[in-house]
Amino acid sequence: MVSALIDVLSEAVRKRVQYLPAQDDMAIPNHAKADIGVLFSGGIDSMILAALADKHIPADKPIDLLNVAFKIQEIKVPPKSLKKGKNKKKDSDPDKTQSDQRSFNCFDVPDRITGRAGLQELKNLNPKRKWNFIEINVTQEELKEMRQKRICHLVHPLDTVLDDSLGCAVWFAARGIGVINDGIEELYTSEAKVVLTGIGADEQLAGYSRHRVRFPYLDEDVVSFLNRLPVSEKADLSLPRGVGEKLLLRLAAIELGLGLSALLPKRAMQFGSRIAKLEDNHEKASDKCKRLVTT
Q: What is the mean pLDDT of the chain?
A: 82
- Name the fold adopted by 2-72+107-292: Rossmann fold (3.40.50)
- Shortest CA distance to 180 belongs to which of 261, 119, 260, 121? 119
Q: Rounded distance, CA 182 to CA 188, Å?
A: 12
Q: Rounded distance, CA 68 to CA 269, Å?
A: 9
Q: Rounded distance, CA 108 to CA 77, Å?
A: 16
Q: Where are the beta strands (DSSP E) in the chain?
A: 36-39, 63-70, 131-138, 177-181, 185-189, 194-196, 212-214
- 94-119 confidence digits (pLDDT tens): 444 444 444 568 999 999 999 999 99
Residue 260 pLDDT greater than 50, yes or no: yes
Confidence of residue 19 (pLDDT cuts 50, 70, 90): confident
pLDDT of residue 94: 45
Q: Between these two residues, 66 and 268, which has the higher pLDDT value?
A: 66
| Strands of the sheet with 185-189, listed across from one edge | 185-189, 177-181, 131-138, 63-70, 36-39, 194-196, 212-214
Asked if 203 and 222 touch (Cβ cutoff 8 Å), the reply is no
pLDDT of residue 199: 63
